[in-house]
Structure 1
Amino acid sequence: MILLLLYVDDMIITGDDHSGIFDFKLFLHQQFEMKDLGHLSYFLGLEVSSDSTGYYLSQAKYASDLLSRAGLTDTKVVSTPLEMNARLTPLDGTPLNDATLYRQLVGSLVYLTVTRPDIAHVVHLVSQFLSAPHSTHYAAVLHILRYIKGTMFHGLHFSAHSTLDLCAYSDADWAGDPTDRRSTTGFCFFLGDSLISWRSKKQHIVSRSSTEAEYRALADTTSELLALRWLLEDMGVTHSSPTVIHCDNRSAIQIAHNDVFHERTKHIEIDCHLVRHHLSAGILHLLPVSSSDQTANIFTKTFPPGRFRDLVSKLKMASVKPP
C-alpha cells in the first residue's frame, strides 16, 4: 500500500516520491521550528517497522507496561480474550472498593485496540462497567491481559503489494446484552489485504428481530463506507465500482433491494432509505456470506479457541518480534 501526503498546493506526494518528500519537509521546516527525527519507529506507544512486504504496527512495549501496572508477573496465559459465552452484568460479583485501577486498565486497553482488533469486542464489554465495576468485571480485565501476555507481539500488517480495493464485512449479535437485550454491531473494512477500520459497539435501540439488528449494523457500515470512500478520494484513491459489503443475513439483503416497505420495516425506515439509496447509486454492493466466513463475527461475540484463531487469521494480523 502506498502512503500518501497532501501537499499545500494540492499536489499529491506518494511514498516513493523522495524529491517531493524532501521539498515538503523543507517547507514545514521553514514554517515551523522542527527537527527531522529520521524513519518512524516509535510514536505515542505505537511501534512501526517495515520490510519489503510492507509496514507493521504494534504496541508490544505499551502492552508490556500495561501488564506490569496490573501486577501480572506470572507466566499464565490464555488462548482467548474472554471465555466462551461469558455474560457480564452490572450486578455480578462484589463492588470494587477502589475502581481507579480498573478504570486505568480499561482506558489503556481501549488505546491498545488501535493495533489489536482481536480484543475490540471484549474491551467494548468491560468498558460498559466503568462507573461501578465489580469483582467479575475486574476478573474479565485480567483475563484479557493474560491473553495479551501470550500474544504480545500481535499487530497490524499493511501490505506493500496489496490492491487498493475496498471491501467490508457487516454483522450483528441480536439481543446479545443480557441486561438490556440490545444488539451489538460489528464491522470491518479492508483496503486490499490490509485491515483499516473496524467497530464493536452496542446499538442504541432494542431490535425486535435478528434481521432488524443486522440491518441497523448494515446502516452503520454504510455510513463508515461513505466516510472511507471520501477520505480515500481526498488521498487520490478513487473507486469507480461499488464497494462490496458482505452480510450473512439474507433477509437484511432482501430488504435493502426491496422498493416496497412492509409493516415489519417501518420502524427502521431511515436505515432502509440510507442503505437503499447508496445501493441504487452504485456506491455499495451487497453480497451474502456464510457465517463461517463472516470476518466481522469477531466484533460481536466470544468464541472457542479454534474458531477465534480462525477469525484472527482473517483479520490479516501479524506477530512480529523485535530483531
Structure 2
Amino acid sequence: MERLGFVYSPYDNALFVQRTSRGSILLLLYVDDMIITGDDYEGITKLQLYLSQQFEMKDLGRLSYFLGLEVASDSSGYYLSQAKYATDLLSRAGLTDNKTATAPIENNAKFDEKDGTPLPNPTLYRQLVGSLVYLTVTRPDIAYAVHIVSQFMTAPRTTHFAAVLRILRYIKGTLFHGLHFSADSSLELTAYSDADWAGDPLDHRSTTGYCFFLGKSLISWRSKKQTTIARSSTEAEYRALADTTSELLWLRWLLEDMGVRHNGGTVIHCDNRSAIQIAHNDVFHELTKHIEIDCHFIRSHVLHGDVRLVPISSIDQTADVFTKAHPPERFKDLLSKLQLTSSISP
C-alpha cells in the first residue's frame, strides 16, 4: 500500500490514506475484508483493478452489510443499525413473547455481587453480555446498562441475568434504532463530559460518561467506571474531563488524517464549574493534589488551544445518559439529544 502512495495512519491500524490531484482515497483494511471510499472515483477503480491482480478478491459493491452492521443511505445521509444482529441475539436468549421495556435499566437500579442466587451455568449470561457489548457500536442508548451488567461476568447471579433480559426486552421494542450520519452536518467537533460521583454502591467509584458529535452526528461515546475513588464530585468530573480530552485528541488526529482540520479549540461541555475553574487555575491546593497529573494534562491542552471548556446546565448535559439510570421521560429526552433514529423499513 505504501508503494502505491498510501500513507499509514498512526491513529488507526486499519486506515490508509492517499491524496491525489482528483481528491482522496481512504482504505480500511481488515483480516479478510476491506472498505474503499473517497472522492477520487478513477483512482478507486484503478486501485480495485490492481488489488484484484495481486490477490483473489471479490467486489461486493456498495457497502450495505459489514461485520454485523447494516448500512443504508439516501440523500439525507447514512444510517447504521444492527437489527439483524439484535434479532439473532433475542433468539439466542429465547425471548419469543411480545413483552418490551421502556428503558434498558430501571431508574435508580443498584446491583450487588451477592444479589440473587448464582447461575448454575453462566455461559449464556457471558455470551449475551458479550454480544450486547458489540451491539453498543450503534446503540449508545444501552451503553450504561451494558456497562453495569458487564461487571458481573465472573460470577453472575439471577438478578444480574434479569437485568440482561430487561436490556433485551428494551431492544425488542426498539429493534431498528440506530445512528444517522447527516449529509448536511457540519464537520465541527464538540464533546460532552460528565461523571456520576460515587455512584457504585459496592466500591463507591464514580462513572465517567462522554460523547462526541461531528456536527450533529454522534461519532464516539463511553460509559466506564473510574479506576480510583474520587474524594469529591469535582474530582470525579475532572477525571472524566481527562478521559474526554484523551479521546478528543485522538479524534482530532484521526479526522486530520481524513482531511478534516480543526483550527480552533474543540468545545467540551461540562456541568461542573469547579472542574472548569481548576483547568484554568495554575495554583494547586488540597482539592487538586490527588489529580495533579490530570490537571497538568488538561491545562496544557487548554493553553495550547486544543480544548475549550464550556459550562452547561445539568439538564442539558447529554453525557448524563452514560453515567446513571434515568426515569423513562428523562431517558427519552436524553436520547433525543443523541440523535438516535429508527430506520424507515426493516
TM-score by length of 1: 0.96
Q: Which has the higher contact order (CA 8 A, sep 6+)?
A: 1
**Please, which moves more after superposition, 23-32 or 141-150?**
23-32
Measured in 2, the distance between the counterparts of 1:78 and 1:215 equals 34
| Pairing 1:264–2:271 present | no
Choose the corresponding residue for 2:24, options 12, 22, 34: 12
Cα offsets for 1:228-275 (capped at 9, x unmatched): 111111111110010000000000000000011112101100000000
Preserved contact between residue 177 and residue 341 of structure 2 (Cα < 8 Å) = yes
| Pairing 1:202–2:213 present | no
Aligned amino acid, residue 117 of structure 1: P
Choose the corresponding residue for 1:77, options 87, 94, 100: 100
**Please, which moves more after superposition, 237-246 or 19-28?**
19-28
Measured in 2, the distance between the counterparts of 1:15 and 1:316 equals 25
SS of 1:199's partner is strand
**Please, which moves more after superposition, 18-27 or 273-282?**
18-27
Find the counterpart in structure 2 of residue 60 from structure 1: 83
Preserved contact between residue 24 and residue 38 of structure 2 (Cα < 8 Å) = no
Q: Check 1:316–1:5 CA distance in 2 against 1; reply closer, same or farther (3 A cut).
A: farther
Give the C-alpha shift of residue 17 in structure 1: 3.1
TM-score by length of 2: 0.90
Gaps of 5+ in 1: none
SS of 1:157's partner is strand
Choose the corresponding residue for 1:230, options 253, 271, 290: 253
Find the counterpart in structure 2 of residue 140 from structure 1: 163
Aligned amino acid, residue 108 of structure 1: S
Find the counterpart in structure 2 of residue 220 from structure 1: 243
Find the counterpart in structure 2 of residue 128 from structure 1: 151
Measured in 2, the distance between the counterparts of 1:107 and 1:193 equals 29
Identity %: 73
Find the counterpart in structure 1 of residue 28 from structure 2: none
Give the C-alpha shift of residue 8 in structure 1: 8.3
Give the C-alpha shift of residue 322 in structure 1: 2.6
RMSD over aligned CA atoms reads: 1.5
Aligned length: 320
Preserved contact between residue 64 and residue 152 of structure 1 (Cα < 8 Å) = yes
Measured in 1, the distance between the counterparts of 2:154 and 2:310 equals 40
SS of 2:137's partner is coil
SS of 1:187's partner is strand
Gaps of 5+ in 2: 1-14, 26-36
Give the C-alpha shift of residue 160 in structure 1: 1.0
| Pairing 1:93–2:116 present | yes
SS of 2:143's partner is helix
Preserved contact between residue 229 and residue 239 of structure 1 (Cα < 8 Å) = yes
